[in-house]
Amino acid sequence: MGSQQSGRPEPERAGPAPLWQPGPGAARAVPGAARPRAVTAAFWLGALDVVVAGALLAAKCVMSDDLVLRAMGNADFLLTESDVQEVYYGILSGVVLLAGVAALVWFGLLVAMRRGRPWARAALIALGFGWAVYSLLSLVGRHPDGMVFPLLELAQVLSLAATLAALHAAREHFTA
């Protein structure tokens, strides 16, 4: 773009690149270069993490209504059935909303990592490690509802471990 008054071109203004476009912080400097397999594998394994977490949340929601009813049954005051339902659906709605926000953040980080953002890879490693430790700790103890939760938690730990391994394998792509 040229200025018509002075005859010399105006400098173009460079702002920060949006997350969906590779910018100065992107690791892939060569246009058209193939994305490493480890990055693609980490992306899809990260998506699998959310699917397993959704299955775990669904199982907990299905089996938790009895827990809320037992807790409300031990209350010192008289509750009607509609009071118990309101409390249950309120808690359930909050948990599902929080899980949805966490899934959106996780997917956003996965997309940014796939676009070559090293900070997204670092955030995924930190969050994934914390998530895996939390899932491992939930395997410890008694499981009165059977083997559904321990098996889903084990699947979660294995899925997260595979995601972290793929993110580690892709480290050279993000340091180039």
How close are the terminal C-alpha atoms of the chain, in Å? Answer: 33
How do residues 27-69 score in pLDDT, each as one tens digit?
Answer: 544 455 678 888 999 999 999 999 999 998 888 877 776 666 6
Dihedral angle, C-alpha 165, 167, 168, 170, nearest 10 °: 130
Arithmetic mean of pLDDT, 93-118: 92
How do residues 138-167 score in pLDDT, each as one tens digit?
Answer: 888 777 777 888 888 899 999 999 999 999
Asked if 104 and 47 count as a contact pair (C-beta separation under 8 A), the reply is: no
The tokens 């599902």 sit on which residue? Answer: 96
pLDDT band at 8, cuts 50/70/90?
low
Taking the domains of the chain in order of start, what are their residue ranges?
37-175
* Rg from Cα positions in the chain: 23
Buried b (16+ CB within 10 A) or exposed e, 56-92: bbeebeeeeeeebeeebeeeeeeeeeeebeeebeeeb
CA distance 60 to 149: 8
